[in-house]
Each structure stands twice: as C-alpha cells, then as structure tokens.
Amino acid sequence: MINVKAKKRFGQNFLKDDSVLIEIIQSMPHNDNHLVEIGPGLGDLTKKLVKCKDVTAYEVDRDLYSILQKEFQSELESKKLNIILGDVLEQWNKNNSLYNSKYDMIANLPYYIATNIILNAFDDVKCEHIIVMVQKEVADKFTASCGDKEYSSLGVITQLVSKEAKTLIVVPPESFNPPPKVDSAVIYIKKDLDKSVSVGFKKFLKGCFVQPRKKLIKNLSAFHNKKLLIDIFEELNIPETARPHEVDASLYSHIYTKVTNNGREQNATC
Ligand code: SAM
C-alpha cells in the first residue's frame, strides 16, 4: 500500500474499505457510457473502474498525479486510462463538459466542493449517471423528497433534472484514512437528459429557501409583489401557510414561470 500524507486543503480522505468500493462498482449501470472519476487519489477506486471500462480521471494534486503515473503505467499506455492534472471545476468552466461523449461520473468526491461538482454535473449534458461519495448531510439534501426536513433547493433541483435519486449506502468515518469527522454516503442519481434548470431558476430557489422555516410566501414577497403571489398560490392550490419544504418541485417551476411572466403562464422557463 502506498503511504502518503493526506492534504486537508484538497479534501483527501482515502477510502480503505474494499466492501464499499465493491458496492460502488456493483451499482454502476450497464451501458456504453465512458467513466469519469474526479479525484482518483491513490487509485484504489480507479483500479476497479479500469477493469470495467475506459476511464478519464481528474486529479488536482501534483504529488498524487506523479504516483498515479507510475501505478497505472500500462493502463495509461494502452489508453484505458487518461489522467488529467488540474482542477475539475476549471475544466468545466473552459469546456462545459468533462468528456466528449456520454459519460457516468463515479467518485469519492472532495467534500469541500462536492455540492458544486454535482450541480455542474447536472448542467453537463454529457453526464448521465452520478454515483458519488459525499458527506451524509449533503447526500440527504440531494435525495430528500417534498415534506422531508432536509428538502431544500438542492432537493428541488435534483427532482427536476433526474429520473431517480437515492442513497445507496452510509459509510462510517473508520472506512477512510484519515477518517473524516462525519458520516459519508454514496448517492446514485440517474439524470433525465431532456431536463435542465436555468441560472435564473436557481437564483429564484435560493430566495424561496432563504429562511427555510418561514412561510414560502413570506420569503418570496421580499422579491415579488405580494398580491401577485397570493393569486398564484390560490391558482396553484398552494396554502398560504406552506413552508418551503412542503412545496413540491413541480410547483416551484410553475410559481417561477408565473412570477417571471407576471402571473401569466406562457413558455416554461424553469
Ligand atoms: N478517490 C480516492 C479514494 O477514494 O480514496 C480519493 C478521494 S479524496 C476524498 C478526494 C480526491 O479529490 C483527492 O485525490 C484530491 O486530491 C482530489 N481533488 C480535490 N480537489 C480537486 C479538484 N478541484 N479537482 C480534481 N481533483 C480534486
């Protein structure tokens, strides 16, 4: 086993539990999609992924990149594996996508940017499945349903852009080296490639959940005309007393369309 000091600033917690790695591999969909891994680290998951399919991996840490170059020399030569040195978020900024054809993202994500990575993967039209380890608290937000106390803008967006979103397994700190301070979880998301949400809609949702325990209509009236909101809520059969976590994802897109069209539902712009 390779021994390196984990760097906190890169969110390095290396997964050491083989049973979790196997569970991730077994949950992969059977399709022809390419695989993209973010943060291969010491390559434990990568080793299993390249046995299944061709992989493109993004690693920001130059020291780990050098180790991986030696460890995977034959896979790199045979082009089963391509490792790109750099920040994955910069790659998205430059290219809009992490690969040039349909892919599935499989990774033990660096927690400090995990939410951002998943939101970018939602916007990436080439990404179809997302199977990633994140902090359990973040997993609960992405997989929450209307009515759950964890249901937030992340849950609404996930419901609007995916066909399925669920937690596969909860992973305790002892499964990592060094152990993180919190529980982790692997989530599985199958995107609906025909669906997306706009930047404007995401901004609108932030306003909806700005004070999550207050009434939704109160949060919204900081940005929109109260009378218009009362009419829209009545038309959509949403009680005026509803809290943000009690309103279904599809209703959020209707409210957004109506407030942006000033009450009239014209083109869906969510
Ligand atoms: N996959 C390995 C495993 O399961 O043991 C390592 C996972 S560790 C939680 C996160 C990995 O992401 C580290 O290798 C870290 O260097 C890398 N990383 C952190 N920030 C990154 C970024 N912005 N772009 C690409 N990789 C990043």
> pLDDT tens across 147-193, in order?
999 999 999 999 999 999 999 999 999 999 999 999 999 999 999 99
Statement: residue 52 has pLDDT above 60:
yes
Ligand 1 centre distance from Cα of residue 114 (Å): 10
Ligand 1 centre distance from Cα of residue 173 (Å): 17
C-alpha torsion 203→207→209→211, nearest 10: 150
pLDDT bracket for residue 268 (50, 70, 90)? very low
110 lines ligand 1 (CB under 6 A): yes
User: For ligand 1, what atom is nearest to the CA of residue 46?
Assistant: 1
233 lines ligand 1 (CB under 6 A): no
Residue 100, H or E segment: none
- The total of structural domains in the chain comes to 2
- Which of 146, 172, 191 finishes a domain? 191
Ligand 1 centre distance from Cα of residue 121 (Å): 16
**For residue 53, which of 39, 33, 71 has the smallest C-alpha distance?**
33
pLDDT for res 262: 75
Pair (111, 150) in one structural domain: yes
| Percentage above 70 pLDDT, the chain | 96
For range 92-106, the mean pLDDT = 96
Pair (118, 204) in one structural domain: no
User: For ligand 1, what atom is nearest to the CA of residue 12?
Assistant: 8
CATH of the domain at 116: 3.40.50.150
Pair (129, 203) in one structural domain: no
Query: Domain for residue 269, yes or no?
Result: no
Pair (78, 206) in one structural domain: no
pLDDT for res 226: 93
Pair (232, 168) in one structural domain: no
Pair (169, 231) in one structural domain: no
Mean pLDDT score of the chain, rounded to an integer? Answer: 95
Provide the domain limits for residue 131: 8-191
43 lines ligand 1 (CB under 6 A): no
171 lines ligand 1 (CB under 6 A): no
pLDDT for res 1: 53
Name every residue whose Cβ is closer than 8 Å to that of residue 23 and which is 6 or more positions away in sequence: 168, 169, 186
CATH of the domain at 232: 1.10.8.100
Statement: residue 263 has pLDDT above 80:
no
Question: Do the Cβ atoms of 55 and 122 come closer than 8 Å?
Answer: no
Interval 189-226: pLDDT, tens: 999 999 999 999 999 999 999 999 999 999 999 989 99
